[in-house]
Amino acid sequence: ADALSQKLIEKNKQLDFYRNKNFLLVGTFYLGPCLSVWYRFIANFFTGHPTMKLVKLVCAD
């Protein structure tokens, strides 16, 4: 995603591999596990009618 951003939005001629590496590491080892735990938690925390549960999940997210 960052490579596409660099090429299409920022119009960089060369990719910044240091920046790509940082995004990869943060997403893989920090955000991925944290968000996985968060989404499992809110999925089990909210109960009730499926429509209301969906509304609660969207608000919590």
Using the predicted structure, report yes or no on whether residue 52 has a pLDDT greater than 90.
Answer: yes
Query: Helices 50-60 and 32-45 meet at what angle, rounded to 10?
Result: 140
Q: What ranges do the domains of the chain cover?
A: 2-60
- Assign residue 48 a region (left: φ > 0; alpha: ψ between -120 and 50; beta: otherwise): left
pLDDT tens across 26-47, in order? 999 999 999 999 999 999 999 9
pLDDT value at position 30? 95
Q: Give CA torsion, residues 54, 58, 59, 61, to 10 deg.
A: 130
Sign of CA dihedral 6, 11, 16, 17: positive
DSSP H or E stretch at residue 16: none
